């Protein structure tokens, strides 16, 4: 079985504050989705949510503000899953809660293990 990263993207939303009820609904959607994949023994690494603060280091030790310059979308997090093929990984991604977010998308990439 191969490993695939699912990279969650959306438009920048800033610091959204959901009501406790809204937060519970969103958390439950992700919990159910991840739990279903884990039950199939296909979850390698649960989701990691990325914060809004970041810097980018470029050649010449140049540091710029933010991990993104002037883009319409940001990477909000990622997870690692097991699947037999990219097609199977895409099927898992089709039910991701990120697709319920305005302009949300899931990028699926194969992972190449580095020896070292």
- Read off the pLDDT of residues 47-104 as tens digits, 9 standing for 90 and up: 788 776 778 888 998 888 766 555 667 788 899 999 999 999 999 999 999 998 878 8
Average pLDDT, the chain: 84
Residues 96, 47 contacting (CB under 8 angstroms): no
**How do the domains of the chain map onto residue ranges?**
2-110
Tell whether the model's pLDDT for residue 12 goes beyond 70. Answer: no
Stated pTM of the model: 0.77
Q: Which CATH architecture has domain 2-110?
A: 2-Layer Sandwich (3.30)
Closest CA to 81 of 69, 72, 90, 68: 90
């Amino acid at each position: 079985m191969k490993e695939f990263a699912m990279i969650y993207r959306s438009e920048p939303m800033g610091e959204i504050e959901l009501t406790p009820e809204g937060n519970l609904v969103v958390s439950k959607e992700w919990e159910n989705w991840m739990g279903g994949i884990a039950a199939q023994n296909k979850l390698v690494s649960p989701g990691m949510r990325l914060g809004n603060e970041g810097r980018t280091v470029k050649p010449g030790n140049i540091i710029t503000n933010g991990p993104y310059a002037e883009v319409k979308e940001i990477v909000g997090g990622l997870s690692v899953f097991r699947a037999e093929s990219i097609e199977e990984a895409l099927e898992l991604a089709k039910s991701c809660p990120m697709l319920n977010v305005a302009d949300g998308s899931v990028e699926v990439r194969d992972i190449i293990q580095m020896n070292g």
